[in-house]
Amino acid sequence: MSRILIIAEHDGQSLNVSTAKCVTCAQAIGGDIDIAVFGKGIEAIAAEAAALESVASVIAVDAEHLAAPLAANWAAEALALADGYSHLLGPSTTQGKDLMPRIAALLGVNQISDIMAVNTANSFKRPIYAGNAIIDVEVPNGAVVVATVRIASWSAAASSGSGSVDVRAADSEAVAHTRYIGLKSGGGERPDLQSAQRVVAGGRGVGSEENFKIIYSLADKLGAGVGASRAAVDAGYVPNDMQVGQTGKIIAPDLYMAFGISGAIQHVTGIKDAGTIVAVNKDSEAPIFEIADIGLAGDLFTVIPELEKLLA
């Protein structure tokens, strides 16, 4: 039977929803599911993890050198816990993509990326070519599966479980070659783009960095995260961590609102799992309307103020 260990993602305050999505993927694999929470002062986060449906136990490793999500330190601790587990899973987020390959390398196995569906305990589906094709990838029998889970493909496990929590000291030591300097967050108080339930995004049609204020303003009224097309990033309107799409972030919010975005395949790849897609574009022939649930042919500089009036 499979024994699955999920490495939790969190910000030191609360569990990231991507961990609950990894649990749903683990349920599809089947077997015992444990979660490892690394950090300092993480009892509340461990309790959140233990409440996820189907989680048997949470191993909360409380140590100063694990306080920051430094992949080099976390990977060493994951290695110390890995014995006896058939699967080690993490989310396909920026943090997970940093951490999981290191764990795979330390275990001497290849990493499986972006699990979007489970065929068997060692065979999985993942997207390739910007989501235009799906392939089956198989791990040799007996090898440990180390994988990232494509969070846009899975819903979050419910918080109806009652796993145990084991708080313990670290088995690993701080690595010497990498130091944590600090975290600079560009998004301020706005929800994180990758886990936000609502995202408002702007494209080249927004026209300038100054004009992007209109996108931030609407996002703040909706409690939404803010995204952008690559053209908007390349033009310098916004920083590149806001890019959505094939070479940016793959997201699956309940609501995605695209303003002045044409709908190129590389952009659409990043949003096609969103619940409801709303598009506003002054070109009624723009390809974004082919995938939008709600489309409005209009000028974003007219539409957004009107939307804001209605929201007020």
Ligand X SMILES: Cc1cc2nc3c(=O)[nH]c(=O)nc-3n(C[C@H](O)[C@H](O)[C@H](O)COP(=O)(O)OP(=O)(O)OC[C@H]3O[C@@H](n4cnc5c(N)ncnc54)[C@H](O)[C@@H]3O)c2cc1C
Residues that bind ligand X (CB under 6 A): 203-205, 229-232, 243-248, 260-262, 264, 266-267, 270, 280-283, 286, 299-301
Between CA 31 and CA 27 the distance in angstroms is 7
Q: Phi/psi at 55 (nearest 5 deg)? A: -80, 125
Beta carbon nearer to ligand X, 226 or 231: 231
Give the Cα separation of 207 and 185 in Å (integer).
Answer: 24
Tell me the closest approach of the beta carbon of residue 229 to ligand X, in angstroms: 3
d(C-alpha 229, C-alpha 218), whole Å: 17
Is residue 282 within 8 A of residue 299, CB to CB? The reply is: yes
Measured between alpha carbons, how far apart are the two ends of the chain, in Å? 54
In the complex, minimum distance from the CB of residue 300 to ligand X, in angstroms, rounded to a whole number: 4
CB neighbourhood size of 204 (10 A): 17
170 φ, ψ (degrees, to nearest 5): -75, 145
What is the b/e burial string over 81-115, where b = at least 16 CB atoms within 10 angstroms of the residue's CB? bbeebbbbbbbbbebbbbbbbbbbeebebbbbbbb
Q: How many CB atoms lie within 10 A of CB 265?
A: 14
* Residue 168: CB atoms within 10 Å: 11
φ and ψ at residue 275, rounded to 5 degrees: -65, -65
Q: How far is the CB of 249 from ligand X (least distance, A)?
A: 8
Quick check: helix, strand or coil at residue 57? strand
Which helix (H) or strand (E) segment holds residue 276: the answer is strand 276-281
